[in-house]
Amino acid sequence: MTTTESAPAPVDEVVLEAVGLTKHFPVRRRLRSLLSRTPTVVHAVDDVSIALRRGRVTALVGESGSGKSTVARLLAQLYPRTAGDIRLHGTPTRVRGGRPFRAYVRRVQLILQDPFASLNPVHTVRYHLTRSLRIHGNAGTGPDGLEQALADLLTRVSLTPPGRYLDAFPHELSGGQRQRVAIARALGANPEVLLADEPVSMLDVSIRLGVLNLLQDLKDRLNLAVLYITHDIASARYFADETIVMYAGRMVEGGDSETVTQRPAHPYTRLLTDSAPDPERITGAGSNATGAGERGHGEPPSLIHPPAGCRFHPRCPHAMARCATELPPPIPVEDGPGHWAACWLFDPATVAARDAAPEEAAR
């Protein structure tokens, strides 16, 4: 077997951590802005901090364009970052290609949304998996060792009997089977961290649950730290231990998944849960998780000139004057361990004023 069944490290140990991660993409400047000294950038990700722990799934939830994929690519070291730190087992890590990058991806593997795009159509499953096993030094000894490692990988992702799939081309497989091959290829590295960027959103709704169950099973058996990126907050409740919500490049709420999805605090998270009310939707009809309700409450802001203060304030039904000028820090929400919201509604002074004069505060 190429992967360790029982890793010695304890569950909950932080494996990979983002601290104040920031990414601004430069954009092509118009003639007028060429005269300005301030460079024009897309504020894709600002000050994001996440700790991925062994044996736990952390969901990163938000609508399209909120910066989720950029966080995944930063954590995979595919983009240089503008600011912040990425720590692997506590050690600040910055790799740009070459041997250090290969050593990093051996431990941190990225699974993409589209298994069609991520598997080369001219190569068989055997080719894809052999390449991964060889690159990461897990191909066993001799031809028999390789065959065993290939069979083990396919068994691990429930593509059995392995002989039925090894010599298949991607187009001969269903979407779910292709995503399982992509997961097997990631496991070929024997990683500690899986960064799963919308791993089921392109799959038929009827097979999403099977692939999420597989990821959950792998997380448990291999003690993996998993980042699960999704726009579907209902699936985060089902699949993730912890949920972090992003809006317009910033984290706005976090905590254990049950609390965040069942008692959302930030007005944006409430909007998301209102537009995705049915947790069973993951197995049934209605795959559009961004939902009409959410869009009905306005559009996300420009990330070239994001709003000052809280980025959600132009859409927020509860916005107060300070929301337009002061960036809210993460504030504990006193209803569950670790639950916080970056929202002035939870500022102790605001809460005290509301409790003292509830009608005035509501105005």
For the bound state, the minimum distance from the C-beta of residue 67 to ligand ATP, rounded and expressed in Å, comes to 4
Helices 125-135 and 175-187 cross at an angle (nearest 10°) of 20
Q: How many CB atoms lie within 10 A of CB 148?
A: 17
Peptide bond into 10 cis (omega under 30): no
Region 19-58 residues binding ligand ATP, contact defined as CB under 6 A: 25, 42, 44
> Does 62 sit near ligand ATP (CB under 6 A)?
yes
Region 265-304 residues binding ligand ATP, contact defined as CB under 6 A: 303
> Does 104 sit near ligand ATP (CB under 6 A)?
no
Residues that contact ligand ATP, how many (by CB under 6 A): 13
The smaller minimum CB distance to ligand ATP, of residues 146 and 260, is found at 260
Span of 65-73, 184-192, 275-283, 349-357 interacting with ligand ATP by CB under 6 A: 65-73
The smaller minimum CB distance to ligand ATP, of residues 42 and 244, is found at 42
- Residue 136, judged by CB atoms within 10 A of its CB (0-12, 13-18, 19+), counts as buried
For the bound state, the minimum distance from the C-beta of residue 306 to ligand ATP, rounded and expressed in Å, comes to 10
Region 238-267 residues binding ligand ATP, contact defined as CB under 6 A: none
For the bound state, the minimum distance from the C-beta of residue 294 to ligand ATP, rounded and expressed in Å, comes to 13
The smaller minimum CB distance to ligand ATP, of residues 112 and 183, is found at 112
For the bound state, the minimum distance from the C-beta of residue 245 to ligand ATP, rounded and expressed in Å, comes to 11
Candidate list 68, 156, 250, 315; residue touching ligand ATP; CB under 6 A:
68
The smaller minimum CB distance to ligand ATP, of residues 58 and 138, is found at 58
> Does 64 sit near ligand ATP (CB under 6 A)?
yes
For the bound state, the minimum distance from the C-beta of residue 65 to ligand ATP, rounded and expressed in Å, comes to 4
> Does 67 sit near ligand ATP (CB under 6 A)?
yes
For the bound state, the minimum distance from the C-beta of residue 222 to ligand ATP, rounded and expressed in Å, comes to 26
The smaller minimum CB distance to ligand ATP, of residues 66 and 109, is found at 66
Site residues, ligand ATP (CB under 6 A):
25, 42, 44, 62, 64-70, 231, 303
